[in-house]
Structure formats: structure tokens, C-alpha cells
Chain A
Amino acid sequence: MSPILGADPLFSDGIDTTVVLIVIVKTIIVFAILLVAVMFYVWFMRKVIADMQNRIGPQKAGPFGAFQTLADGIKLFFKEQSSPTSADPPVFKLAPYLAIIPAFLAFAIVPIGGVVTVAGHETYLQLADPGIGVLWLLMMSGIGLYGVMLAGWASGSKYPLLGSVRASAQLLSYEAALGLAIVGVLVHTGSLSTRTIVDQQAWDGVGSAFSQWYWLPAIGAFVIFCISAIAETNHPPFDLVEAEQELVGGFHTEYTGIRFAIFFLAEFMNVITMSAIAVTLFLGGPSGPALGFLSADSWVNVWVMPVFWFTLKVLVLLYATVWVRATLPRLRYDQLMSLGWKYLIELAFLWAMISAVVVVGADQGWNRWVVVPSAIFGAGIILAVLWACIPRRGESVEEIR
């Protein structure tokens, strides 16, 4: 097993032309899926929000307005590109690509289906299964931050700069909570590889959706992951990065035309990737009941059903994201920071510790009626200490100089 290429059986017999072709085709398909998914998601979001606000939403372009995003994209493509005189041209031009490329790459580790056979080669329905697994996601969202930060910096204008400062602080803060929430799953799986994680959540009757899928065993991590994923993707109610009332457009104020469209694309692509990762980690990925009246190795059960279940789960999460977007007002910046640093990071940390104790206890055969209460008790003590350390309203805090 190659540590870079991962455990994909595609590479087990060496690499020949067919294997390379398969990889290229998979790359193109993932690329296309993401672009179409963003188009779909923007339309879906506008329709769902309209539905929640007693409106109809886009309806003119195509059936049910489905081509609205495409029309917007074409318009943006042909618009004039301007850049401020005070901008730093090379960085200004580079920034959108720094945002979009990690957004594409992050999706590479998402398993969207099971194991299939193409031209005599067994392969996973996912672009890559590297040994570092979900760390890839954190890496890519970390690199994506550079796009936002440099865009604000290179614009040579104050609102984009303020927006990008906000963005870097916010993404940095919530990346910690996001990472710790992922740890809450990793103590159960014992592996970083997304394929291994998905395989551990294989479908085995309805009960497995509660016992095998990690959303219930790691419910705390799941909730924290969802909150910090929304914050990480700058979606409302955490969209302070582009708070129109305060910052005009945030980091992309000075961007027009296709460069703006690329930022837009990257932002919504990140939402889809985060939902897909949440499905992978917590909701069993592509696992789900196969069609019982067909044989287990019919093409429907091998190709279609896993992709169907994966898409369905992602759609449910996307709907929830839009629901949150339609409901909650934007947080104040100090509320954002306090939620991230004072609550989510602590809770994710304690959850990871409790999970670790429980998992090790089960592994060692310790009495769970002793292990679980004492783990929670210990976590409670730590939480109380942390709580006592948090400055209260009106309390003077000596500044560090």
C-alpha cells in the first residue's frame, strides 16, 4: 500500500495506461459533479429560502428556474474585470484560484459510492483515499483561507482588508473546534482513511443506522462538527466575513466578473464538501439498504444505490444548512469568538476525552458502568475549572502586553 496513493485496489497491480485513464476520468467526473452540485445548490438554496419566506424563488430560467445559476455564471463570465489602482495585481489575480483549487481538492477524499469494477480493475468510487484521510480536509480548508486572506490584502482597500482579517480569525478559531470534533469520531474509527471510516459504518439493518453510523455514538462531536462546519464555510449565521451592513461585500468587495464568480463558487463548493464530509464521518457515507429484489452484484446495487444514499444524505444536510440560513440572524463578532473559543473548543475537547476513555474502556473490557460515569465526572470537573477561568461580564481582565 502506497502511503500517497492510499489503499485503493486500483493501484494494487501496478500502474498501467488503463489505471491512469481511470484516474483521469474519475478526476473529470468529480470536477463536473462539484460544478453541477454548486449550480444545483445555489438554486436549491434560493428555492428553499423562498419557500420559508412565502415566496416562489427563481422560476424564469429553465424548468423551475433551475438554470438561474448558470445564467448568472454566464453573465459574470462576460462582465468587465476591474481592479483597484491600489491593488497588488499578481496577488489580486492569484487569490481566487487559491480559494477555488483547495475547494475542488477537498472533495477528492469523499467516498461517493462503493467498490466497483471498471475495465477489469476494482476501484473505489472516490478520487483518492490517502493515508492522511480527513486531515486532507483540514489542510485544504487551511489553504483555502489564504485565498480569502490574500484577496482582502491585495485589494488595497479597507473593507476587503477588514473582511479578510475577520475571515482569517474566524476560520482559524473554528478550525480548532472542527478538528477536535473530527477527533471525536477518529477515536471510534482508529483510522484517518475515509474509506475505512465508511466501511466501518456499513449498512446492516435499520439498527446499524443508530449503532454503526457515528452520529449517535459521537452525537456531541456531530453537533459541534455541524456548527463549526457552518462557521468554517462562512455560511449564515456566521457570515461576518461578508457582512454587507458593515463591510460592503467583505473580502471580495473589489472583485468583479469571473474572479468574483470563482470566490462565489468556492464558498458554495465548501458547503457541499463539508456536508459530504459530515455524511462520510457521521452518517455512513454511501451505506444504505440495497434493493432486495435485485441480486447483490447487479449494477443497480453496486453503482446506483450507494450513490443514491450518499446524495440523499448530503441533500438532507444541505437542507438543514439552508434552514439555519433562513432562520438565524448573523452573530455579533464577539459572540462568534465567544461561541468558538469559550464553548465549542472546550466541549469538543471534553467530548474527545470522554470518547477516548469509553473506547479504551470497551477495548480493555472495563466495567462500562464505572468507566462512563467517571469519565463524565472527570470531564465535568475540567469543564467547571474552565468555566471558572472565563472572564465574566464586567470583570476586569489584565491585558497581556
Chain B
Amino acid sequence: MGRFSGFGITIRQVGKVVTGDYPKTKRPKPTRFHGRHVLNRYEDGMEKCIGCELCAGVCPARCIYVRGADNPVDAPVSPGERYGFVYEINYLRCIHCDLCVEACPTEAITETKLFEFSFTNRQDAIYTKSELLVDDQGRARRQPWELWLGGEDDETSAWMRATAPSGQAEFEGRIGWSGELGFGVREPEQGQTAPEPLEPEVDPADGHGHGHHADPGHGGGH
């Protein structure tokens, strides 16, 4: 009956459906899905970006353009000396490798799970800082050419790095989470373990001008 066994194969599929009702309903995306970026802010509303340009330096596609500037004394943008006052990512070049996220010493840039965007001109493809920066609730700002539904931006920060927020050697191998606007401190992901609270003596608060905003106590000690 080998020649007719195909009929059994097709009839057994009746009633099974694997395709979804996209885009009305979407499947949950993998935990570490690499979507478009957001620039995060601290819970107090301060921007995390310090304009260090490490992301631009590490970017293999050369799609990030950053210019830092000194914080205005009377109205500081970020908790530190400098902030990124120009921040652009060209999504016609970005390969979503996440190396910028790895490089960022302050977890300012993370990748979301939002990926459904299509542009009709090249200007739209270059996301500027106002488009990348999260809003006052800490959610990604939806651009007119992006197709995502409410709730899809819930897990806006894609993933955390294995190194500490300060980027210092003492924290290597320890997972650090810093508080984020709208999301607070993240729970450890599957397969990760929460680190012990960081010891006060390794706090590098003194000695460095920018030590304040890189304070691990800001996040990891939450």
C-alpha cells in the first residue's frame, strides 16, 4: 500500500494548525531575540547613555553614530559628566549582532523584541535619539512605520550581559542588572542565577569622576 500511504498522511493533518493568525496574534519570541534598539533611562528618568562611543567603536556594520557632550550643570541629562547628545542608528546597515549592547558600560543601549518595521525612505531608516529613547513610562516609542501591538514592548530590554554594569574587571563573571524606568530590576533569566549582593568594599564610587552613574549599587544591589 506504499503507493497510497500518502492519503493517510494528508488526512491525518486535518484539524492540526501550526500557522498562527499573524499579525493579530503573535507567538512569544525567544528570550534573547534581537530586535531594534532602545536607549534606556534610569528609574529617576535620567538617561543611561554617557556618550562614550564604545558602541559606535565596536559596531561591525558601522551603523551607530554617537556624539557626546558635557552635561548642562543646571539640567543634567545623565547622572555623570557627559551624555550622548547625538545618537543615531542606521537600520539599513544594522545586523543586530548585539555587540553594542555588550560594549555599553551603562546598559544604556539594549535590543527589544520589536522587529516589524519597514521604511519608505532612507531617512526613516536612521533612528535618531528621540526615536530610540524610551518614553517617560520606559516603553519604546512606536514609530508610524512600525507594526507592533500593545504589550509587545513589555520586555524591552532584550538581555543582560555577563559583566557588571561598571565594566570593571572585579565584576567579570557576575551578572548585573540595573534598575530601569518602567521595568525596575529584571529577574534572572532562565538558566541564570541571581548574583549575591555586591560587597560594599568593591564599590568603586571613589576615585573616578564617572563612578557615580556606574554605581553597581544603583542596580545590582536592589
Mutual binders A and B: yes
Chain A interface (Cβ < 8 Å from any Cβ of B): 51-56, 59, 323-324, 326-328
CB-CB under 8 A from B21, the residues of chain A are 56, 59
Complex Cα–Cα for A52 and B13 (A): 5
CB-CB under 8 A from B15, the residues of chain A are 51
Interface string of B1-40 (1 = CB under 8 A from A): 0000011011101111111010000000000000000000
Nearest CB in chain A to that of B13: its residue: A52
Complex Cα–Cα for A59 and B19 (A): 12
Q: What distance in Å separates the Cβ of A61 from its nearest Cβ neighbour in chain B?
A: 15
Q: What distance in Å separates the Cβ of A322 from its nearest Cβ neighbour in chain B?
A: 10
Complex Cα–Cα for A80 and B17 (A): 37
- Whether A327 pairs with B13 at a CB distance below 8 angstroms is no
CB-CB under 8 A from A53, the residues of chain B are 13
Complex Cα–Cα for A324 and B18 (A): 22
- For the residues of B in contact with A, the DSSP-based class is loop
CB-CB under 8 A from B16, the residues of chain A are 54
Q: What distance in Å separates the Cβ of A90 from its nearest Cβ neighbour in chain B?
A: 44
| Besides A52-B14, A56-B21, A327-B6, 12 new A-B residue pairs in contact (Cβ under 8 A), listed by A number | A51-B14, A51-B17, A52-B10, A54-B13, A54-B16, A54-B17, A55-B18, A55-B19, A56-B19, A327-B9, A327-B10, A328-B6
B interface size (C-beta, 8 A): 13
Q: What distance in Å separates the Cβ of B2 from its nearest Cβ neighbour in chain A?
A: 13
- Whether B17 pairs with A56 at a CB distance below 8 angstroms is yes
- Whether B18 pairs with A54 at a CB distance below 8 angstroms is yes
Contact of A54 among B6, B7, B11, B19 (CB under 8 A): B19
Contact of A326 among B10, B17, B18, B19 (CB under 8 A): B10
A-B contacts, 7 of them at CB < 8 A, read A51-B17, A52-B11, A54-B13, A54-B16, A55-B17, A55-B19, A323-B7
Complex Cα–Cα for A125 and B6 (A): 39
Q: What distance in Å separates the Cβ of A106 from its nearest Cβ neighbour in chain B?
A: 28
CB-CB under 8 A from A54, the residues of chain B are 13, 16-19
CB-CB under 8 A from B7, the residues of chain A are 323-324, 327
Complex Cα–Cα for A102 and B172 (A): 81
CB-CB under 8 A from B19, the residues of chain A are 54-56
Q: What distance in Å separates the Cβ of B18 from its nearest Cβ neighbour in chain A?
A: 4
Nearest CB in chain A to that of B22: its residue: A56
Name the 10 nearest CB pairs between A and B, nearest first.
A52-B10, A54-B18, A327-B10, A327-B6, A52-B13, A326-B10, A55-B19, A327-B7, A51-B14, A54-B16
Nearest CB in chain B to that of A329: its residue: B6
Q: What distance in Å separates the Cβ of B3 from its nearest Cβ neighbour in chain A?
A: 10
Q: What distance in Å separates the Cβ of B221 from its nearest Cβ neighbour in chain A?
A: 50
